[in-house]
């Protein structure tokens, strides 16, 4: 029987389970290396602040685009489907199944290869800052997404809103509420309706809605 997020009712138990999995550990290791590397590379400037601001500002829309274009891609056996779509459909079928909770480590390795090429090509401190920021944002995404699928009860309003929206995405209609760590993308792009304005989708648990 597949391991599940059931009965993880506290932040401590949820964190203990979270760090047992390869992707969070890999991202945590990468983050530590980047922090040390950027700390040793002198030359903090306005460019670092601009890079951080841009990446943080784009994150809600980055999540939205990846969710729509990659994770909810057509089930046609194509590259996107084989790389992420099929796994994400399994996640919709059983949102508690830990096998499909996280970004696959191979995807992280691929992103790291691209990041290394970027840093080696630009050879600027701000490039490292960019990769560092992207790693933090990815780790935050993984934690928030994982926590939403546990039995930890929301206690603060900002997290409660994220929790409710993502649960609606899974159990109301998979076409809406596509953000995970922020709802800005949904608000701007028109996928943040009121619950009562959206019909229950018969394919929410499979993510196979017609496109």
* pLDDT tens digits, one per residue of 115-170: 999 999 988 999 999 999 999 999 999 999 999 999 999 999 999 999 999 999 99
Single pTM value for the model: 0.92
* pLDDT tens digits, one per residue of 90-117: 999 999 998 899 998 998 999 999 999 9
Exposure pattern of 33-52 as b/e (b: 16+ CB <10 Å)?
ebeeebeeeeeeeeebeebb
The pair of structure tokens assigned to 42 is 């002198």
Computed over every residue of the chain, the mean pLDDT equals: 91
Among the residue ranges 2-16, 134-148, 183-197, the one predicted with the least confidence is 2-16
pLDDT above 70: residue 208:
no
What is residue 123's DSSP assignment?
-
pLDDT at residue 1, rounded to an integer = 44
Q: Taking Cα atoms as reference points, which of 137, 120, 104, 121 lies closest to residue 31?
A: 137
pLDDT at residue 2, rounded to an integer = 61
CA atoms within 13 A on the CB side of 101: 28
CB atoms < 10 A from the CB of 59, how many?
22
Confidence class for position 88, pLDDT limits 50, 70, 90: very high
Distance CA 171, CA 187 (A): 19
pLDDT at residue 194, rounded to an integer = 94
Give mean pLDDT, residues 78-89.
Answer: 88
Give mean pLDDT, residues 18-34.
Answer: 95
Confidence class for position 207, pLDDT limits 50, 70, 90: confident
Residue-by-residue DSSP string for 3-18: -B-TT--SHHHHHHHH
* pLDDT tens digits, one per residue of 48-73: 999 999 999 999 999 999 999 999 99
Q: Domain ranges in the chain?
A: 11-197
């Amino acid at each position: 029987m597949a391991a599940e997020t059931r009965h993880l009712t506290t932040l401590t138990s949820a964190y203990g389970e979270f760090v047992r999995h390869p992707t969070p550990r890999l991202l945590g290791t990468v983050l530590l290396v980047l922090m040390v590397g950027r700390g040793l590379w002198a030359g903090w400037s306005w460019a670092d602040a601009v890079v951080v601001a841009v990446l943080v500002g784009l994150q809600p829309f980055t999540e939205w685009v990846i969710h729509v274009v990659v994770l909810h891609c057509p089930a046609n056996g194509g590259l996107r489907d084989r790389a992420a779509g099929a796994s994400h459909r399994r996640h919709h079928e059983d949102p508690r199944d830990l096998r499909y909770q996280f970004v696959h480590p191979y995807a992280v390795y691929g992103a790291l290869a691209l990041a290394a090429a970027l840093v080696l090509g630009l050879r600027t401190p701000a490039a490292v800052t960019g990769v560092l920021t992207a790693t933090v944002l990815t780790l935050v995404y993984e934690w928030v997404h994982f926590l939403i699928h546990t039995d930890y009860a929301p206690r603060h309003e900002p997290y409660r809103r994220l929790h409710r929206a993502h649960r609606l995405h899974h159990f109301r209609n998979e076409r809406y509420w596509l953000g995970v760590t922020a709802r800005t993308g949904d608000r701007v792009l028109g996928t943040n309706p009121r619950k009562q304005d959206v019909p229950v989708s018969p394919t929410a648990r499979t993510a196979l809605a017609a496109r």
